[in-house]
């Protein structure tokens, strides 16, 4: 029964990532703030990492990163690499040191989303020699960062419900 629940949970996470990716990439569905749309896949993979062990968290980080690479038309594998490392680290921290709740989810979202969006700016704007990288950071990347943070509590509650509904009933809490 444990393997069946785990398989259903992983399929639900995969479906969640696909739906959030479609919502994120559909033009005009979510309002833009300063021309920026939120990265809905980012809170999904990072909150999945809070509940899952290190290897599945890293795999979902790679899948979510590839979706972001595809949607943001950046360098293929850039976000996959970053999210694989961050999801592994978040999962390790959650398994060993943290008590997982909505406060830790938002805190994890603040620093992990900050790392992803700052690295995105550094490698895809600053190092490529755009003429006004500071302007791009202030007027595009910061609004995207704060807009993405708004979705962390909602996605955390969704993933917490999925995890609790589909975890092993014989496992210790």
pLDDT (tens digit, 9 = 90+) per residue, 34-90? 878 889 999 999 999 999 999 999 999 999 999 999 888 678 889 999 999 999 999
Report pLDDT for 32.
84
Mean pLDDT over the full length of the chain = 88
DSSP letter at 74 equals -
Report pLDDT for 169.
60
Enter the CATH code of domain 2-165.
1.10.1760
Contact criterion met (CB below 8 Å) for 50 and 108: yes
Closest listed residue to residue 63, CA positions, set 48, 40, 93, 84: 84
Handedness of CA 27, 14, 146, 156 (dihedral sign): positive
Map out the domains of the chain as residue ranges: 2-165
Give the span between the Cα atoms of 47 and 158, in whole angstroms: 9
Report pLDDT for 129.
77
Higher pLDDT, 5 or 50: 50
> Strand pairing partners for 33?
36
């Amino acid at each position: 029964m444990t393997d069946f629940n785990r398989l259903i949970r992983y399929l639900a996470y995969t479906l969640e990532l696909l739906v959030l990716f479609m919502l994120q990439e559909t033009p005009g569905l979510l309002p833009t703030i300063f021309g920026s749309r939120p990265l809905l896949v980012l809170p999904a993979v990072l909150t999945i990492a809070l509940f899952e062990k290190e290897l599945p968290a890293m795999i979902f980080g790679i899948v979510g990163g590839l979706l972001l690479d595809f949607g943001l038309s950046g360098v293929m594998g850039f976000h996959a690499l970053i999210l694989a490392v961050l999801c592994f680290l978040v999962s390790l921290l959650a398994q060993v040191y943290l008590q997982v709740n909505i406060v830790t989810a938002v805190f994890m979202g603040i620093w992990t989303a900050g790392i992803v969006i700052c690295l995105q700016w550094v490698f895809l704007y600053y190092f490529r020699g755009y003429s006004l990288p500071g302007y791009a950071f202030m007027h595009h990347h910061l609004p995207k960062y704060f807009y993405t943070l708004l979705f962390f509590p909602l996605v955390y509650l969704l993933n917490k419900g999925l995890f609790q509904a589909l975890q092993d009933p014989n496992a210790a809490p």
